[in-house]
Amino acid sequence: MVNNFEAKLKEYAHLLVEVGMNVQPGQTPRIAASVECAPLARLCVEAALDRGARDVVVEWSDDFVTRQRYLKADQAVFSEMPEYVKGKFQWFLDTQCPSLAIVGSDPEMLKGVEPERIQTWQRTSAPFTRPYLDVISAGRIQWTIGAHPTRAWAEKVFPDKKGEEAVDALWEAIFSVCRITGDGKAVERWQAHVEATARRAKLLNEYHFRSLRYTNSLGTDLTIRLPEGHVWMGGAEETPAGVPFVANMPTEEIFTAPCWDGVDGRVYASLPLALNGNLVKGFYMDFEGGKIVNVHAEEGEAFLRNSVTMDEGSSYLGEVALVPYDSPINNTGILFYNTLFDENASCHLAYGSAYPTCVKGGEEMDEQAQKAAGLNQSMNHVDFMIGTADLSIVGTTYDGREIPVFVEGNFAF
């Protein structure tokens, strides 16, 4: 059993509600969680109501049910969006519900499912869920992501352990990287971390790079052009109403958007990607004029190909994120098989949609103006990890200066 578990779990719940979502009095937050994540979800409900939430809406899911649906449901249902689901997401949008997602699914939950079924459902559901998700990605309402171990996930991370032993080990890791000790001071520790991250983001913004070039011994040689009005972000964000929130718990990244048509070269993934309930391993992508023109994976290539072709924007990048190799998460030596953690252990990119806030005034632009400003648009947003111990990133400024950004996997400044 994890030492002082109940105190740590309660501290984590308060951190997610008070710093992550930063629920304000009168708001109605939405919490999405698997039934196996109920202990943390319940504490988050209590914390939100104690903080003055008007109500809390909890959306429960179940890995077993989800898998059975994909395996056995009539093929036609994946092309039909039920009216009640449409209405639900419209209500979330109308109510401006802050969002907390508690992740913990089996990384291989959908192994053996036909990739086309997954892609069909994503294409069917995206037009109805996207308006609410667009409001979230634009930072108009608070949102965050946390985690709760499940047995299947824990045993994947710790294959030498079984059952509760594996779950306890994963809890210990999550508490550690989220700065949870059980002393009730995680909020203060996070405030200091957010301030330190913001200082480094400010320095990157002052450099105002035109492009970044990535190289390492895996074979990565990729040049990414940045929009002229790009903004580096990290730590906390802020809604238009001035409410700060932290989108990921944990987070170690500083990120911005690339020019959708300004990426050329090859990039190798440094870690497996948990994608739609399947694992993609040993893969690389080739880019020309911003577009992914070729992908290859040692395992899970069909799922990767379907993902990068889900819509036109899925074939272009939407995010570039910097994370030092010497980060608290990477230093655990644990491969989490979960993007929330693995993306914060490694420099990463994301294909699909860009965050409008990554360009000056982007959240006020329509889609056409965002595209003209360099921001990619898609129903997709998938992070994949590229950081290594020998990663080099060199930034080129508009006046032609070349400045080391990463040397041997870590920030050069």
By three-state DSSP, how is residue 5 classified?
helix
SS3 of 236-291: the string is CEECCCCCEECCECCCCCEEECCCCCCEEEEEECCCCEEECCEEEEEEEEEEECCE
The pLDDT assigned to 137 comes to: 87
The pLDDT assigned to 296 comes to: 98
The pLDDT assigned to 1 comes to: 82
| CATH class of the domain defined by 5-177 | alpha beta
Task: Report the C-alpha gap between 248 and 250 in whole angstroms.
Answer: 5
Task: Report the C-alpha gap between 67 and 64 in whole angstroms.
Answer: 5
Q: 359 pairs with which residues across the strands?
A: 230
* Biggest CA-to-CA distance, the chain: 59
Phi, psi of 270 (to 5 degrees): -100, -15
**239: nearest Cα among 45, 24, 12, 17:** 24
CB 189 within 8 A of CB 178: no
What does the domain layout of the chain look like in residue ranges? 5-177, 209-411
Instruction: For residue 125, count other CB atoms closer than 10 A to its CB.
Output: 18
Beta strands of 76-118 (E only): which ranges?
A: 99-103
Instruction: Give the pLDDT of the chain (413 residues) as one tens digit per residue.
Output: 898 999 999 999 999 999 999 999 999 999 999 999 999 999 999 999 999 999 999 999 999 999 999 999 999 999 999 999 999 999 999 999 999 999 999 999 999 999 999 999 999 999 999 999 999 988 999 999 999 999 999 999 999 999 999 999 999 999 999 999 999 899 999 999 999 999 999 999 999 999 999 999 999 999 999 999 999 999 899 999 999 999 999 999 999 999 999 999 999 999 999 999 999 999 999 999 999 999 999 999 999 999 999 999 999 999 999 999 999 999 999 999 999 999 999 999 999 999 999 999 999 999 999 999 999 999 999 999 999 999 999 999 999 999 999 999 999 99
CB 16 within 8 A of CB 44: yes
CB 182 within 8 A of CB 253: no
In the numeric block, which tokens belong to residue 95?
């109510």
In the numeric block, which tokens belong to residue 284?
């690389």
The pLDDT assigned to 407 comes to: 98
Q: First-to-last CA distance in the chain?
A: 41
**Whole-model pTM?**
0.90
User: Taking the CA of residue 244 as centre, how many other CA atoms within 13 Å lie in the half-sphere pointing to its CB?
Assistant: 11
User: Taking the CA of residue 79 as centre, how many other CA atoms within 13 Å lie in the half-sphere pointing to its CB?
Assistant: 4
Beta strands of 29-165 (E only): which ranges?
A: 30-34, 57-61, 99-103, 143-147
Task: Report the C-alpha gap between 218 and 67 in whole angstroms.
Answer: 35
CB 215 within 8 A of CB 221: yes
